[in-house]
């Protein structure tokens, strides 16, 4: 570690997001390039830097800054350099020189204590003098506070956010209760604030720490899909997190309730603890559904006549339950259409669309993901959008902002909304959709209740069906042409817990018995690289490996490492970016693993002309790395729907390789062929509807590789992980109030 000192002569580059700064440091008569996270530095400042010299392959010798200190300029030359550097808006070098000539080394004291004296300088009015003093004080306070926060391990980027929110109160906050920052400052979570509090000497059994820990555990539960946690689970997890025994849990829960951060409800022998936001969200969803569920009058004779016309004109034949689904869609404000693969949901949706269009009604088709929306478009012939795009994103709904332009103030202008793949829709997204709908708009929810629940919190489709308060039509008949597919037939057997023949006499459903992980991996590679592409007439990249787990030999991480090595090997023609222990390479198949509502994208023609642009890339979107420029700090990805997106290096943690993905991530998608490794795993994870979801992702071929015993155990294990939700109860309570029961 070396220490150097000098003036910040010129800031070459600064990334405002993370504070990464490249600047020229002036030392006597030479200049040195320095780099580091130094968002608070200004041109002209005198700084002392600790770090080490490095040699960049393009830019040569640089000083990598580890820590820094801003020194107060004391001599006249230093003061003049600082004032004339541009750090003070509107103060030019010539004026700075005049000020220093007038006041010399007393300049800073004069500005701070007698700012009106600056008006003695020609060209400086009293107003300008006050502005200079205010800017100098503001920058001094911010700089001092950011340097102060460094000793708590707070990065410059985060320190700037904290100071922006609290100003000079930050010192008291850090000393008394840093945990309140978790509620107030974006980017400060419990883990971060707990480390700060430890450095600040806050006791491990502090009331603030315990309450903040409780809220953190509730939010962790939300991340697992739960709307609430049982009190005993909340307390146990909080104690494990904090490493303390909570002496008076009731008092902490009461205090959090008074602060309106949580809601505590006693249901029978169970005490449930909700975050206030999600408790209210369930009530709102229940209320908005009730408001939409009005009856539309039409005689049976007229309805039958018009539906028969649709059958004739569109050359389709509906069975009894499909007829009933269309009837209910016409007459009810809210309808749920559910059923497994091959039962005719798509045909029924098409019948509804044609019926409503003949009535002159406007229809919006939507799905939770881009893949699902694309499939819906292909199946119906009408444009379908993601729900996010339908609602016109303009912010980040997950951060509490009014994230959609379409809401209760500017609702959707349509008569019918049909949402496919509803099992993937979580509670926040359902809430946003319902806010954008007005009474008189029909809502038709289509999905398979036996699929895995949404990645986000809640179990919306299942809860609505279980409430028994809305029209639900379940299609159960497998159509004759679908009976020829063992994918369809075996999926239904799996769903019903019935034995499945694994004799490999099928044309589209295979089981390759391998008991060693290394052999399973070898078979997977052969299938993806050689066997299946020719069999299903697709590219290797179109064959999707679906695995139950992230970790382990047959988890996502190991499989991607192996598949990348053979499907997209290193080459002098392919540029790479090392991110932690992962390599991203041009040509790699990747997936976005979190919603990014502000990510800009554009769609271009083959000649490079932009034909569409927008914002938002979402959890589960898949694409190919097209370019990793030699110069710059970003990679270019083309997603499946043609969207080109530029990812800065700091956003690469939102991406992962996607040659293999978890079964959960495959929801709403369909692939020409899927390969599913199955060896021993945790019983609570290896359940029936996980297997059912994986098998139903394949269009032409399913190949399972592994243990028949594990396959049979999954078929028999109908105990999927239960989610703590209460939307069913909220819906029933509203129904009881309405009927006076």
Query: How confident is the model over 345-396, as pLDDT tens digits?
Result: 999 999 999 999 999 999 999 999 888 898 899 999 999 999 998 998 876 6
Q: State the pairing for strand pair 543-547/671-678.
A: parallel
Residues in the chain: 741
Long-range own/partner contacts, residues 105-108 (CB < 8 A, 24 or more apart): 105/74, 105/75, 105/76, 105/79, 107/76, 107/79, 107/83, 108/72, 108/73, 108/79, 108/136
- On whether the pTM is more than 0.75, the answer is yes
Helix (H/G/I), strand (E/B), else coil: 609? coil
How far apart CA 241 and CA 420 sit, in angstroms, is 39
Domain end among 451, 481, 511: 481
Q: How many CB atoms neighbour CB 586 within 10 A?
A: 18
Instruction: Tell me, yes or no, whether 66 lies in a domain.
Output: yes
Beta partners for 62? Answer: 54
Instruction: Tell me, yes or no, whether 590 lies in a domain.
Output: yes
Q: Are residues 467 and 351 in the same domain?
A: yes
Q: Are residues 443 and 590 in the same domain?
A: no
Using an 8 Å Cβ cutoff, are 310 and 316 in contact? yes
- Nearest alpha-carbon partner for 49 in 81, 2, 116, 16: 2
- Model confidence at 128, pLDDT cuts 50, 70, 90, reads confident
Helix (H/G/I), strand (E/B), else coil: 534? helix
Instruction: Tell me, yes or no, whether 726 lies in a domain.
Output: no
Instruction: Tell me, yes or no, whether 364 lies in a domain.
Output: yes
pLDDT tens sequence across 267-290: 999 999 999 999 999 999 999 999
Q: Tokens for 449?
A: 């209740």
How far apart CA 51 and CA 57 sit, in angstroms, is 19
Cα–chain-centroid distance for residue 430? 16
How far apart CA 440 and CA 435 sit, in angstroms, is 13
Which position has the higher pLDDT, 365 or 581? 365
How far apart CA 614 and CA 709 sit, in angstroms, is 48
- Model confidence at 181, pLDDT cuts 50, 70, 90, reads confident
pLDDT at 514: 95
Tally: H helices and E strands in the chain: 27, 28
Q: State the pairing for strand pair 46-56/2-14.
A: antiparallel
Instruction: Tell me, yes or no, whether 225 lies in a domain.
Output: no
196-211 in b/e form (b: 16+ CB < 10 A) is bbeebebeeebebbbb
How far apart CA 169 and CA 667 sit, in angstroms, is 47
Using an 8 Å Cβ cutoff, are 156 and 145 in contact? no
Residue 693 among known ligand-binding residues: no
Q: Are residues 508 and 462 in the same domain?
A: no
- Nearest alpha-carbon partner for 474 in 325, 648, 315: 325
Q: Are residues 410 and 302 in the same domain?
A: yes
Which position has the higher pLDDT, 180 or 524? 524
- Nearest alpha-carbon partner for 159 in 138, 182, 142: 142
Average pLDDT, the chain: 88
Residue 347 among known ligand-binding residues: no
Instruction: Tell me, yes or no, whether 247 lies in a domain.
Output: no
Q: Are residues 638 and 525 in the same domain?
A: yes
Q: Tokens for 214?
A: 């409780």
How far apart CA 216 and CA 195 sit, in angstroms, is 14
Residue 342 among known ligand-binding residues: yes
Q: Are residues 433 and 517 in the same domain?
A: no
Instruction: Tell me, yes or no, whether 456 lies in a domain.
Output: yes
Using an 8 Å Cβ cutoff, are 229 and 264 in contact? no
Which position has the higher pLDDT, 425 or 482? 425
How far apart CA 208 and CA 180 sit, in angstroms, is 8
How far apart CA 92 and CA 557 sit, in angstroms, is 56
Using an 8 Å Cβ cutoff, are 392 and 444 in contact? no
Instruction: Tell me, yes or no, whether 214 lies in a domain.
Output: no
Q: What's the distance, Cα to Cα, between the start and end of the chain in Å?
A: 76
- Model confidence at 438, pLDDT cuts 50, 70, 90, reads very high
pLDDT tens sequence across 382-434: 999 999 989 988 766 665 545 789 999 999 999 999 999 999 999 999 999 99
676-687 in b/e form (b: 16+ CB < 10 A) is bbbbebeeeebb
Q: Are residues 635 and 508 in the same domain?
A: yes
Is residue 99 pLDDT above 50, yes or no?
yes
Count of the separate structural domains present in the chain: 4
Give residue 109's domain range. 76-152
Q: Are residues 124 and 49 in the same domain?
A: no
pLDDT at 480: 60
How far apart CA 452 and CA 470 sit, in angstroms, is 22
Q: How many CB atoms neighbour CB 456 within 10 A?
A: 20
Q: How many CB atoms neighbour CB 273 within 10 A?
A: 26
Is residue 140 pLDDT above 80, yes or no?
no
- For residue 372, the domain's CATH number is 3.40.50.300
Percentage, residues of the chain above pLDDT 70: 95
Residue 558 among known ligand-binding residues: no
pLDDT at 481: 66
pLDDT at 87: 61
DSSP code of 132?
Answer: H
Helix (H/G/I), strand (E/B), else coil: 621? coil
Domain end among 448, 481, 514: 481
Residue 6 among known ligand-binding residues: no
Q: Are residues 432 and 530 in the same domain?
A: no
Beta partners for 447? Answer: 338
Using an 8 Å Cβ cutoff, are 418 and 352 in contact? yes
Q: Are residues 436 and 502 in the same domain?
A: no
Q: Are residues 125 and 49 in the same domain?
A: no
Using an 8 Å Cβ cutoff, are 460 and 430 in contact? yes
- Nearest alpha-carbon partner for 118 in 105, 100, 137, 135: 100
Cα–chain-centroid distance for residue 305? 47
Beta partners for 65? Answer: 51
- Model confidence at 465, pLDDT cuts 50, 70, 90, reads very high
The residue whose two tokens read 């297997």 is: 691
Which position has the higher pLDDT, 477 or 660? 660
Q: Which run of H or E residues covers position 545?
A: strand 543-547
Q: Are residues 406 and 346 in the same domain?
A: yes
Region class of 392: left (phi > 0), else alpha (psi between -120 and 50), else beta: left
The backbone torsions φ and ψ at residue 375, rounded to the nearest 5 degrees and listed phi first, read -65, -40
CA of 656: how far to CAs of 242, 577, 624, 652, in Å?
A: 31, 13, 11, 8
Using an 8 Å Cβ cutoff, are 644 and 600 in contact? no
How far apart CA 694 and CA 451 sit, in angstroms, is 9
Percentage, residues of the chain above pLDDT 90: 56
Using an 8 Å Cβ cutoff, are 196 and 171 in contact? no
Helix (H/G/I), strand (E/B), else coil: 205? coil
Domain end among 438, 453, 481: 481
How far apart CA 188 and CA 587 sit, in angstroms, is 35
Q: How many CB atoms neighbour CB 84 within 10 A?
A: 20
- For residue 16, the domain's CATH number is 2.40.50.140
């Amino acid at each position: 570690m070396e220490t150097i000192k000098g003036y910040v002569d010129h800031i070459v580059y600064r990334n405002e997001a993370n504070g990464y700064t490249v600047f020229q440091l002036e030392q006597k008569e030479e200049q040195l390039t320095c780099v580091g996270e130094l968002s608070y530095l200004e041109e002209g400042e005198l700084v002392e830097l600790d770090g080490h010299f490095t040699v960049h392959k393009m830019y040569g010798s640089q000083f990598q800054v580890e820590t820094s200190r801003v020194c107060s300029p004391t001599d006249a030359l230093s003061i003049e350099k600082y004032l004339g550097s541009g750090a003070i808006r509107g103060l030019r070098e010539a004026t700075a020189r005049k000020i220093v000539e007038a006041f010399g080394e007393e300049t800073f004291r004069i500005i701070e204590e007698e700012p009106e004296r600056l008006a003695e300088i020609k060209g400086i009015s009293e107003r300008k003098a006050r502005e200079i003093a205010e800017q100098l004080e503001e920058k001094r306070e911010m700089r001092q506070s950011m340097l102060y926060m460094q000793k708590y391990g707070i990065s410059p980027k985060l320190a700037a956010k904290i100071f922006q929110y609290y100003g000079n109160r930050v010192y008291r906050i850090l000393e008394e209760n840093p945990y309140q920052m978790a509620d107030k400052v974006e980017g400060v979570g419990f883990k971060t604030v707990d480390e700060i509090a430890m450095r600040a000497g806050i006791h491990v059994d502090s009331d603030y720490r315990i309450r903040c820990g409780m809220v953190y555990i509730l939010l962790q539960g939300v991340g697992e899909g739960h709307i609430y946690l049982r009190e005993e689970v909340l307390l146990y997890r909080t104690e494990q997190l904090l490493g303390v025994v909570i002496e008076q849990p009731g008092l902490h829960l009461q205090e959090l309730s008074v602060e309106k951060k949580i809601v505590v409800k006693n249901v029978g022998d169970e005490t449930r603890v909700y975050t206030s936001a999600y408790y209210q969200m369930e009530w709102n969803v229940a209320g908005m559904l009730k408001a939409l569920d009005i009856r539309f009058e039409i005689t049976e004779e007229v309805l039958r006549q018009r539906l028969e016309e649709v059958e004739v004109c569109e050359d389709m034949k509906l069975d009894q339950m499909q007829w009933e689904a269309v009837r209910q869609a016409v007459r009810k404000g809210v309808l749920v259409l559910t059923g497994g693969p091959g039962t005719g949901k798509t045909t029924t949706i098409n019948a509804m669309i044609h019926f409503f269009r003949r009535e002159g009604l406007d229809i919006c088709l939507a799905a939770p993901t881009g893949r699902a929306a694309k499939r819906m478009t292909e199946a119906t012939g009408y444009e379908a959008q993601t729900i996010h795009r339908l609602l016109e994103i303009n912010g980040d709904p997950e951060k509490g902002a009014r994230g959609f332009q379409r809401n209760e103030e500017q609702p959707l202008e349509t008569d019918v909304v049909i949402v496919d793949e509803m099992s993937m829709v979580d509670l926040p997204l359902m809430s946003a959709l319902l806010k954008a709908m007005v009474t008189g708009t029909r809502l038709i929810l289509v999905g398979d209740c036996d699929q895995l629940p949404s990645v986000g919190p809640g179990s919306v489709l299942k809860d609505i069906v279980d409430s028994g308060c809305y029209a639900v039509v379940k299609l159960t008949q497998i159509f004759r042409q679908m009976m020829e597919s063992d994918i369809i037939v075996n999926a239904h057997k799996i769903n019903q817990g019935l034995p499945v023949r694994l004799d490999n006499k099928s044309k589209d459903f295979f089981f390759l018995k391998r008991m060693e992980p290394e052999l399973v991996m070898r078979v997977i590679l052969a299938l993806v690289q050689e066997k299946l592409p020719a069999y299903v007439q697709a590219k290797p990249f179109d064959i999707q490996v679906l695995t139950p787990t992230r970790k382990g030999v047959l988890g996502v991480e190991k499989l991607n490492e192996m598949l990348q090595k053979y499907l997209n090997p290193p080459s002098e023609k392919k540029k790479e970016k090392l991110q932690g222990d992962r390599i991203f390479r041009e040509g790699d198949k990747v997936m976005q693993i979190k919603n990014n509502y502000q990510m800009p994208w554009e769609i271009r023609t083959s000649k490079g002309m932009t034909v569409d642009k927008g914002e938002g890339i979402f959890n589960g979107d898949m694409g190919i790395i097209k370019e990793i420029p030699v110069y710059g700090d970003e990679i270019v990805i083309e997603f499946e729907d043609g969207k080109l997106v530029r990812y800065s290096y700091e956003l690469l943690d939102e991406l992962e390789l996607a040659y293999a993905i978890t079964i959960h991530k495959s929801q709403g998608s369909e692939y020409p062929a899927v390969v599913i490794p199955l060896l021993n795993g945790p019983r609570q994870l290896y359940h029936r509807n996980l297997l059912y979801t994986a098998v139903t992702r394949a269009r032409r071929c399913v190949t399972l590789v592994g243990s028949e015993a594990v396959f049979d155990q999954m078929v028999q294990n109908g105990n999927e992980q239960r989610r703590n939700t209460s939307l069913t109860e909220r819906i029933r309570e509203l129904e009881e109030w309405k009927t006076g029961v």
